[in-house]
């Protein structure tokens, strides 16, 4: 795969060819003010919408807008805010090409993050080996056959991932999405360039630390979650250095050294920041029962889920993603987790 400045479509290099560092071309088309443009080429299929869906926190997430063949993202970089637009472009099958355009002071940093964001280092070759596929349930192999264009993204942005994960602790997804949207919209940085209306980059750690208690309450975030976020923001520099740390127990332990961050949160974080292929969200309210029902027809607990997934050690997150993409829906019984309103507490 390669990453180049704007140029005519050419033959796609082999995956082993290193990333080409070349100056980005400038784009001053009708879509908005001048931005920087580069192309990412792959000899294998690629789908933006399927691959980046894991990064979206609800349909109204102000930091990312995702649709068929297109994605808009806005975030802070060490050089300042950036808006990133990704578009799939037609090339001969089975290859893929993504056009990356960026605006703002952090445009160069944003473009440098694109290969990892698109999953360039996500290697499915062992998973796709015939002998390995033969050990998997038909549900998984059939889903993989239909989704060869899926890659696991690596954002490298620890705090932008950690904070929404903490907001999802012990509440419904709708509550967590509301809190993220409310706080980012209120305290985030306006997206530079021609981003869709309403897009914002998530606040910097120092801004999160200045959010008053009444706005945490207005966002329906309880004291426990807001305190965890504030603790993490006080260690933001050290935590961000973990973006370059290798996957493994040491990385999980360092994330869990922040009070309020446990193994579930660490797994959810590394799935997005590092494209972790083996990370399983132990402690999730629904996941164990879902995986158990999909693989055996029977609900199970975390220990049972890990036992079921054990034969595919090293690729357990890939297996979970395939089950989720299969369209399987487990039977629902009993009460749902009820939303809580913390605004009067």
pLDDT digits (tens, 9 = 90+) for 182-238: 999 999 999 999 999 999 999 999 999 999 999 999 999 999 999 999 999 999 999
Residue 5 pLDDT class (50, 70, 90 cuts)? low
User: Using the 8-state DSSP alphabet, how is residue 335 labeled?
Assistant: P
Q: Is the pLDDT of residue 17 over 60?
A: no
Q: How far apart are CA 163 and CA 272, in angstroms?
A: 12
Q: In Å, how far are 188, 274, 288, 305 from 63, measured between CA atoms?
A: 9, 19, 29, 33
For residue 283, the model assigns a pLDDT of 96
pLDDT in tens, 56-68: 999 999 999 999 9
User: Using the 8-state DSSP alphabet, how is residue 338 labeled?
Assistant: P
Q: Is the pLDDT of residue 89 over 50?
A: yes
Other beta carbons less than 10 A from residue 3's beta carbon: 22
Q: Is the pLDDT of residue 95 over 60?
A: yes
For residue 338, the model assigns a pLDDT of 56
Query: Which residue in this structure is represented by tokens 């306006």?
Result: 190
For residue 35, the model assigns a pLDDT of 87
Q: What is the distance of C-alpha 243 from the center of its chain?
A: 13
Q: How far apart are CA 31 and CA 103, in angstroms?
A: 12
Q: How far apart are CA 308 and CA 320, in angstroms?
A: 11
Do residues 241 and 125 touch, judged by C-beta distance below 8 A? no
For residue 115, is the peptide bond before it cis, meaning its omega torsion is within 30 degrees of 0?
Answer: no
For residue 112, the model assigns a pLDDT of 98
Q: Which residues contact 74 (CB under 8 A, 6 or more apart)?
A: 63, 64, 81, 82, 83, 84, 189, 191, 192, 195, 199, 200, 201
Segment among 29-38, 81-90, 216-225 with least mean pLDDT = 29-38
Mean pLDDT over residues 130-142, rounded? 97
Q: What is the mean pLDDT of the chain?
A: 90
């Amino acid at each position: 795969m390669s990453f180049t400045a704007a140029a005519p479509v050419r033959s796609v290099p082999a995956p082993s060819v290193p990333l080409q560092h070349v100056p980005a071309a400038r784009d001053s088309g009708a879509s908005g003010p001048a931005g920087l443009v580069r192309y990412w080429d792959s000899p294998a299929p690629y789908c933006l919408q399927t691959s980046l869906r894991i990064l979206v926190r609800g349909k109204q997430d102000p930091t990312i807008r995702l649709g068929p063949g297109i994605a808009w993202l806005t975030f802070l970089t060490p050089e300042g805010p950036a808006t990133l637009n990704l578009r799939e472009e037609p090339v001969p099958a089975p290859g893929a090409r993504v056009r990356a355009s960026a605006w703002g002071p952090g445009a160069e940093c944003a473009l440098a993050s694109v290969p990892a964001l698109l999953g360039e280092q996500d290697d499915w070759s062992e998973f796709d080996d015939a002998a390995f596929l033969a050990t998997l349930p038909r549900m998984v192999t059939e889903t993989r056959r239909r989704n060869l264009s899926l890659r696991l993204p690596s954002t490298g942005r620890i705090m932008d991932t950690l904070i929404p994960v903490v907001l999802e602790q012990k509440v419904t997804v709708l509550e967590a999405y509301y809190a993220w949207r409310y706080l980012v919209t209120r305290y985030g940085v306006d997206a530079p360039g021609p981003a869709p209306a309403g897009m914002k980059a998530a606040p910097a750690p120092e801004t999160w630390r200045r959010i008053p208690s009444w706005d945490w309450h207005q966002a329906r975030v309880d004291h426990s979650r807001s305190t965890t976020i504030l603790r993490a923001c006080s260690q933001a520099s050290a935590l961000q250095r973990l973006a370059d740390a290798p996957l493994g127990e040491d990385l999980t332990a360092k994330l869990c050294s922040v009070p309020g961050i446990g193994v579930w949160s660490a797994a959810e974080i590394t799935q997005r920041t590092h494209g972790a292929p083996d990370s399983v969200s132990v402690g999730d309210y629904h996941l164990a029962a879902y995986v158990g029902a999909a693989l055996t027809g029977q609900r199970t607990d975390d220990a049972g889920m890990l036992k079921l997934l054990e034969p595919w050690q090293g690729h357990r997150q890939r297996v979970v993603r395939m089950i989720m993409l299969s369209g399987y829906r487990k039977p629902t019984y009993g009460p749902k987790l009820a939303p809580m309103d913390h605004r009067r507490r």
